Each structure stands twice: as structure tokens, then as C-alpha cells.
Amino acid sequence: MNGESNSSGDLIHIRVMNEYGGGLPLWPDDVDDLDLSDDLRADLMAFADRWDAAIDPEVTDDRWDGVPVTQTLVGAKYSLGRLLHPARERSAEAEHEDMRRTGEALAVRVQDELGPAYRVTYVH
């Protein structure tokens, strides 16, 4: 990817999008040669690290996948935790919203640095 549109003249679509332990949150995967500043790359990595740290344990707790009764009990455990700790739930929701705003701002910065040959979107 050298900053030009592809052979058909279409814009190259880049998504700012996190994945568990995914590194630089840009997709498709072959974005290493994009002409992005070191500051923007550092901010994107900080965003990915923050996202990884904010993942709810319920999302990654797959120890009992495929064991229906235990899986249901584990789900109930997390539901009960949300009910018993509403302040923690509100804090998680606020972090989720702040992460969305940060991701949208990063997508704008990526678009600005890459220019008009690209279409950059944010996927939350």
C-alpha cells in the first residue's frame, strides 16, 4: 500500500478496529507499510493496549465452552456480579463510551495522514 488507489481507481478501505491481542488496530492486516507518523502509530498501540486492558473477563472466560450447564452457571455468575456492583458496571460503560470516542478520533487522524486515496472508518 503506497498511498495510491488500487488499479480500479477505488479507494482503499482501512478500518481502525481492535482485536484481542491484535497489535496495531488497523485492518486489513497488511498495513505495516502505511505512511503513518511514529506519534500516530504510538497512539494507535496505546489505544489497542487500553482496549485489551478493558476487556470484561466474561468475554474471555471460555473455560467452560461446550459444557452447557457449567456455561450457564458461569454466565449467571457474571450477571449476578453486574447486579451486585452497579458502580463497576457504570464505570465500564463510561470506559466503553470513551474508547469509542478515542477510536473515532484516531480514525480521523489516520484518514488525515493517509489522504484521499483511502477511506478510513472506525469499527467499535
The pLDDT tens digits of the residues spanning 34-77 come to 889 999 999 999 999 998 888 776 666 777 677 778 878 888 88
Residue 65 within any structural domain of the chain: yes
Residue 5 within any structural domain of the chain: no
Domain count, the chain: 1
C-alpha neighbours within 13 Å on the C-beta side of residue 13: 6
Q: How far apart are CA 60 and CA 56, in angstroms?
A: 7
| pTM of the full structure | 0.73
Query: What range does the domain containing 23 cover?
Result: 12-122
Residue 90 within any structural domain of the chain: yes
Residue 60 within any structural domain of the chain: yes
CB 74 within 8 A of CB 64: yes
Q: Is the peptide bond before 86 cis (omega within 30 degrees of 0)?
A: no
Confidence of residue 5 (pLDDT cuts 50, 70, 90): very low
Residue 38 within any structural domain of the chain: yes
